Amino acid sequence: MTLAERLRIIFQPNTAVANQSMAAPLAQPSVSAVPDTRPPVENPLPLLPDINPTTASETLPYWLRDEHALRDEGVLFGLSTVGPDEKISEIQAYYAQLVAPLEAQINQLSLRVNEIDELIEQQETRVNLQQKQINELRNRQPAATNLLRTAVSLCLSTVMCIGTYYLIASTLQPAFPNPWVSIGIFLAGMFNLFGQTSFFYQDNVALTGRRLIEEVGLPFATSLFIGIQAVQFQPVIQAVALFIFVFFLFLLAGKLFLSSLNALQTGLTSTQINRQLAFDKQQTLPVFETNLDRLNQGLTALRMQKWPVVSALNQSEAKLKQLNTKRDQLVNLFLSEFELARSLRDRLTEKQRAALFN
């Protein structure tokens, strides 16, 4: 019969039976010292300390493994003048030693989960970037080149420029028989455009006085010079008509020629870009898709690597919670017996005390 049971029997109505029941000797429970702390467990992350509430009793002293013995400890401390704090600290110290490897393992697993999460985040960033490149390449469409239209326009403008030169040369032949003079005047009126294209072929362009003089001034002066030379050898009406005709030829045909050259350059560049785009869709896109599959496989492998660690972490936390709950239960059990014995201590007679500790 335990000491706690004897204490309860004393205060039952049948005192004689209680005194006979206490005849059996009772072993005095001992208070063990806390053993030295063992070195931390250095198991790899996938391994967990073999600690659970059912096997923990093998590493605990007898008075913690057996609830009746713990009750007797509470009664002994309650009947004495010693407080419960020392015994509670001893219980907590034993369980702190017991759960220390488990807490270390939980910290290692938590760090491992954080590392895997960072790797997963980096891998997801690579996957999203690769997917974005694939989508952009798939959605890119070839640019319109209009090479045929540009080539026809360039040919027509070239024919008009050649015809204009012969018209100027025939008009200036009486006054300037040297053909280089006609060539110089023709170039002066035809190729005066300083920009890439004329404002005649651009939309939403602010027309300033400086640009107007740059594009219209020299063709006007050249046409006026040709018209004055034509007046000397041709009728006035014919000379005026020649002036107007040559002026607009300089403005439109010359500018159309230069604009066609610029459009041809743009078309050739677009054609090269389209060829590169076709090559990328045929050759580079499969490489991107293969790389995306490889990244997705790596991401899946990281997630598969994470789940066992998370499962082990959850198991460790559950074991730790169970051990802490068991520790609190033992502390509460000890305190309940301690407080009961302390409340009954002054009501015991000397004979009852002797019988209790016999």
Top mean pLDDT of 74-83, 148-157, 303-312 is at 303-312
Residues 145 and 133 placed together within one structural domain of the fold: no
Percentage of the residues of the chain whose pLDDT score is greater than 90: 22
Predicted confidence (pLDDT) at residue 307 exceeds the cutoff of 90: yes
Residues 227 and 258 placed together within one structural domain of the fold: yes
What pLDDT does 298 receive?
Answer: 93
Residues 148 and 270 placed together within one structural domain of the fold: yes
Q: Last residue of some domain: 252, 269, 298?
A: 298
Residues 118 and 152 placed together within one structural domain of the fold: no
Over the chain, what is the mean pLDDT?
Answer: 78
Q: Last residue of some domain: 253, 268, 298?
A: 298
Report if residue 32 sits inside a domain. Answer: no
Structural domain for 11, as ranges: 3-24+45-137+317-356
Which alpha helices (H) appear in the chain, and where do they start and end? Answer: 3-10, 15-21, 62-65, 67-79, 85-139, 147-172, 179-190, 209-212, 218-231, 236-248, 255-279, 285-344, 350-356
Q: Lowest-confidence range among 125-139, 202-216, 222-236, 268-282?
A: 202-216
Residues 112 and 132 placed together within one structural domain of the fold: yes
Residues 198 and 339 placed together within one structural domain of the fold: no
CA 327, 332, 337, 341: dihedral to nearest 10 degrees?
120
Q: Lowest-confidence range among 13-17, 181-185, 297-301?
A: 13-17
Distance, in Å, from the CA atom of 71 to the CA atom of 330, rounded to the nearest integer, reads 9
Report if residue 33 sits inside a domain. Answer: no
What pLDDT does 115 receive?
Answer: 94
Residues 124 and 271 placed together within one structural domain of the fold: no
What pLDDT does 70 receive?
Answer: 84
Report if residue 293 sits inside a domain. Answer: yes
Which one, of 194, 236, 234, lies nearest residue 218 by Cα?
194
Residue 304 banded pLDDT, cuts 50, 70, 90? very high
Report if residue 290 sits inside a domain. Answer: yes
pLDDT digits (tens, 9 = 90+) for 51-96: 454 455 557 788 888 888 888 888 888 878 788 888 898 888 988 9
CB 354 within 8 A of CB 144: no
What global pTM score does this model have? 0.56
Residues 183 and 286 placed together within one structural domain of the fold: yes
Distance, in Å, from the CA atom of 270 to the CA atom of 117, rounded to the nearest integer, reads 45
Residues 238 and 326 placed together within one structural domain of the fold: no
Report if residue 303 sits inside a domain. Answer: no
Residues 132 and 189 placed together within one structural domain of the fold: no
> How many domains does one find in the chain?
2
Residues 192 and 129 placed together within one structural domain of the fold: no
Report if residue 37 sits inside a domain. Answer: no
Which one, of 122, 125, 109, 121, lies nearest residue 307 by Cα?
109
Report if residue 309 sits inside a domain. Answer: no
Residues 148 and 289 placed together within one structural domain of the fold: yes
Q: What is the mean pLDDT of residues 125-143?
A: 90
Q: What is the mean pLDDT of residues 126-148?
A: 88
Q: Last residue of some domain: 256, 271, 298?
A: 298
Considering all CA atoms of the chain, what is the largest pairwise distance in Å, rounded to the nearest integer? 162
Distance, in Å, from the CA atom of 321 to the CA atom of 327, rounded to the nearest integer, reads 10
Give how far Cα 110 sits from Cα of 6, 318, 343, Å: 50, 14, 47
Report if residue 307 sits inside a domain. Answer: no
Which one, of 93, 91, 73, lies nearest residue 329 by Cα?
91
CB 1 within 8 A of CB 17: no
**Angle at which helices 3-10 and 285-344 pack, to 10 degrees?**
40
Give how far Cα 233 sits from Cα of 16, 173, 174, 240, 341, Å: 162, 10, 8, 12, 144
What pLDDT does 155 receive?
Answer: 87
What pLDDT does 10 receive?
Answer: 61
Radius of gyration of the chain, Cα coordinates, nearest whole angstrom: 52
